[in-house]
Structure 1
Amino acid sequence: MPAHARSHPLPSAPPRARPLAAADLPGLLQVQRACYGEGFEESHAVFLRRLASPAQCSLALERDGHLCAYLAAYRSLRGKVTPLHGDFEAAQAPDTLYLHDMAVSPALAGQGLAQVLLAAAWATARSEGLRHSALVSVQGSQGYWARHGYAPAPLQDAAQRTRLATYGEGAVYMVRALPGA
């Protein structure tokens, strides 16, 4: 290899979404802490239970061997909210991709990593016949999600409104249609 080629490191390969695994949890917890602080941190045990759910379809992104972003998601029902620290509950006939949590390492913000996760999750959901995607917007993120096609949706069920309240003031349940589903 010529000397000039060795002096310039090769650029990192673009990260690709892959299924989130238990081995990813230490990195996930680091990213979560950096993004949310203590108020919204969910434990290792909670994520282990979620990974064991047959409904889960969570994704991870790695860069240079380290987890740099994740999307905790599962197949659910429109109008159903997973409470903060709650488990992913399997539904008999899911119609909605529920995005429970997505975070990108702050050091890598603005590089399109969230869009890689969303595109992969939406494509899989469409291929499985899911018609909607839903989430709870927290920490002032409603504008971000609106730019991705999500709109506030009222929750008719009192139990679901109670679950929404676990996220604190300003939490908003939002839904979008999955094109082509």
Structure 2
Amino acid sequence: MSVKLIEESDWEGILKVQAGAYEKLGPEALEVLKCKWRNLPAANFVHAKDKVVDAYLIAHSWNHQVPPKLHTLLPENIHGSILLLHDLAVSNTVAGLGVGSKLVAHLFNAARLMKFAEIRLVSLRESVAFWQKMGFVEDSKVGACPGYGSGAKVMYRVLSACTDAA
């Protein structure tokens, strides 16, 4: 099993993982996901075994404390000092095996190399504890858009050059 940057050939697998992970919220359109990927390809990863995608992480540059809404294309001129972790999804076939943590560790390394000082995300209610274990804290001043469901929280993690380890 390995982690690699997302390539064009990975999208079919990404969409399958997304469909299984977000039955309640509904999957985002391929066009929306690719828009976020194209913004910062070096911060987007898949986990695969035998070339079959079983998890993915999509992140992009952002310039505001409030994350963008779900199901929308990114506006122009959004490059900024914040790395927004848009989505992490893991299929049931590898759930509980540390794959999500592995993808996040790759993102932390990429973020430091690209000189991002902060990563922000919207955590769904059921994943808050996972993100807390990864060093994220709630930003109580910023609310998540209603499309994320009740209990969703905006969270952030400040990166330091020498002390972070996933």
Whether TM exceeds 0.5 here: the answer is yes
Matches within 5 A, 1:87-126: 87-89=73-75, 90-92=77-79, 94-126=80-112
Q: CA contact under 8 A between 2:54 and 2:94: conserved in structure 1? A: yes
Other structure's SS at 2:150 match: coil
Shift of 1:38: 4.6
Q: TM-score, normalised by structure 1?
A: 0.79
> CA, structure 1 residues 150+95, in 2 after alignment: closer, same or farther (shift >3 Å)?
same
Matched with 1:153 is 139
Matched with 1:166 is 147
Matches within 5 A, 1:1-181: 14-15=1-2, 17-54=3-40, 57-77=43-63, 79-89=65-75, 90-92=77-79, 94-155=80-141, 161=143, 164-180=145-161
> CA, structure 1 residues 47+22, in 2 after alignment: closer, same or farther (shift >3 Å)?
farther
Larger mean Cα displacement after TM superposition, 133-142 or 47-56:
47-56
Q: CA contact under 8 A between 2:61 and 2:81: conserved in structure 1? A: yes
Other structure's SS at 1:166 match: helix
Work out the CA distance in 1 between the residues paired with 2:74 and 2:8. Answer: 15
Work out the CA distance in 1 between the residues paired with 2:44 and 2:72. Answer: 15
Shift of 1:95: 1.9
Cα RMSD for the two superposed structures:
2.1
Aligned AA (2:23):
G
Work out the CA distance in 2 between the residues paired with 1:155 and 1:81. Answer: 13
Shift of 1:53: 2.6
Gaps of 5+ in 2: none
Other structure's SS at 2:106 match: helix
Shift of 1:61: 1.4
> CA, structure 1 residues 54+130, in 2 after alignment: closer, same or farther (shift >3 Å)?
closer
Q: Which has the larger radius of gyration?
A: 1
Identity %: 26
Matched with 1:3 is none
> CA, structure 1 residues 56+98, in 2 after alignment: closer, same or farther (shift >3 Å)?
farther
Shift of 1:52: 3.0
Q: CA contact under 8 A between 1:78 and 1:134: conserved in structure 2? A: no
- Give the number of aligned pairs: 161
CA displacement, residues 87-130 of structure 1 (integer Å, 9 cap, x when unaligned): 345534x2222111101111111211112211111111111111
Aligned AA (1:66):
V
Q: CA contact under 8 A between 1:79 and 1:155: conserved in structure 2? A: no
CA displacement, residues 19-63 of structure 1 (integer Å, 9 cap, x when unaligned): 212321111111111112152311122223333335772111111
